[in-house]
Chains A and B, each alone.
Chain A
C-alpha cells in the first residue's frame, strides 16, 4: 500500500494528522509531510478513513 497525496489539492488542515499522527504531520511551515509513505497493511483502515475525511480529496491509496 502506498499513500499518495496531491499537494496541489492539500490545504494542510491536518485532518489526516488527527487520524494517523504516525503517518501524517503538518509542521510549523504549514506543509503536510507524509512520515511513512508505505505503511503496513495494518494501517489500511486508518488510511482509508483519512482518504474519506480529507475535505479536499487529496489523499489516495495505490495498491
Chain B
C-alpha cells in the first residue's frame, strides 16, 4: 500500500502520517465529504464508507421542503454524482451497520448483506449523525411520523397526498416549522403544538420567537404554545391528540419534531468517551487515529469558548473535511476546528438564516429592515462581542455579519457598521 502523499496546501507542516486505510462510518453528508477530502489531500489507501441506509448518500434539507411538497423526486437529492464514487475509489458498503468498535484492539464489527464482519481499522472517522426522538406510546401507530431520512419523507408525503383533514405538528423547532410550512403550502390544515411560550424562544429570545409565531399564524397555522402533548390517541391509525391543557385535536396525521439523539449506542463500551455525542478534542480527534464529524460530534470550539454539538448542514461538511484531514497528520500539525456555525431554514416565503452562537439573554439589535415586514437582520451581542446574526430574507447581510463574527468585531462596531 502506498503511503499518503500530501498534495493540497493544508498538510505541509508537521509529520504526515502514512495510513493504509480509513474506515468512515455513516454514509451521509459528513461521511461522503470526508471521503472526498481524503482523496483531495492525496490519500491513496483504501477508503471504506459504511452506512446502514440502503440509499447512496443524499441530501436531507430538501426532505422537509421540495421532497415533501412534491416538487422534487428523490433522484434530485443525491449528494455526489454516481461517476464520482468510482473516481474516488470508494469501498461503499450500503445497508451495513456498524455494531461495535473496540479502541484497544482497533476492531470494527459490522453487519450487512454479506453477514457479520470484524476487521482491524487504521484510521476511523465516525459520522453516524443523529436520529429523531419519538413520543412514547406512538410506536407502530400509522399516521404518526418523524422526519429524518428519505423513507420517512416519502411516507409522510404519501400521507399528505391522501389529503388529511388535519396535521398536528408536535414541536415548533426548525424541522417542525418547515413541515408546517410545507403542509400549509399544500393547503392542509395544521395545528402546531409547542411547549415553550414562543417557537424557538429559548434559543433566539422571546422577541424573535414572537416573530416566528406571527409568521406561522399569518399562514393559517393554528399555533398552540405553552402546552405539551398528553397523549396521542387511536388504534391502528392515529385519531386525535390530547394536549396538557385538556383540549382534544382531531388529526389523521401527526408529525413529531422534538429534537434528535446522536447515534452513539454502537460505541458503548468501545473505550471512546460518549457524552451527548462523541467527545472530541479541539481538533476533532476522539482518540488516536479516531475522529468524528457532523451531528454526532461534540468538541470545544475555541472561538466561542464553548463545547458544542452542531446539527447544521454546513457544519457537517466543514467538520467532515476537517476530521478527514486530521487523520492524516500528527498532533503537532493538527489545527483546532473553530467555525462560526451557520444554518438556514426555508419556511413559507421566508429564508431564515442564523450564524454564530446565540442565547435568549444576549443583547439584540435590529440593524436592517423591520420586524413588521418580516425582513430584517438582527445582531446578537454578549459581553461586548458580536456573537450571532439572525436574518429573515437577508442572506447577504447574514453572511457579511458572519464574517465580522469570524473577525472578532465588537457588538458596538457591528451595530454601527454600514454594510
Contacts and interface: CB of A to CB of B under 8 A. Distances in A.
Interface stretch (B202-210, B234-242, B289-297, B394-402): B394-402
B104 interface: no
B29 to A, nearest CB: 10
A52 interface: yes
B314 A14 contact: no
B216 interface: no
Interface string B377-406: 000000000000000000110111011000
A52 B317 contact: yes
Interface residues on A, range: 10 to 19
A22 B99 CA distance: 47
Contacts of B351: 11, 13
Contacts of A15: 314, 342, 399
A14 B61 contact: no
**Interface size band for B:** 20 to 34
A52 B396 contact: no
B167 to A, nearest CB: 26
Nearest to B8: A45
Nearest to B77: A57
Contacts of B8: 45
B317 A26 contact: no
Given A13-B399, A14-B395, 7 more contacts: A11-B395, A13-B353, A13-B398, A17-B399, A18-B402, A52-B317, A55-B313
Interface of B: 8-9, 33, 36, 40, 59, 61, 313-314, 317-318, 342, 344, 351, 353, 395-396, 398-400, 402-403
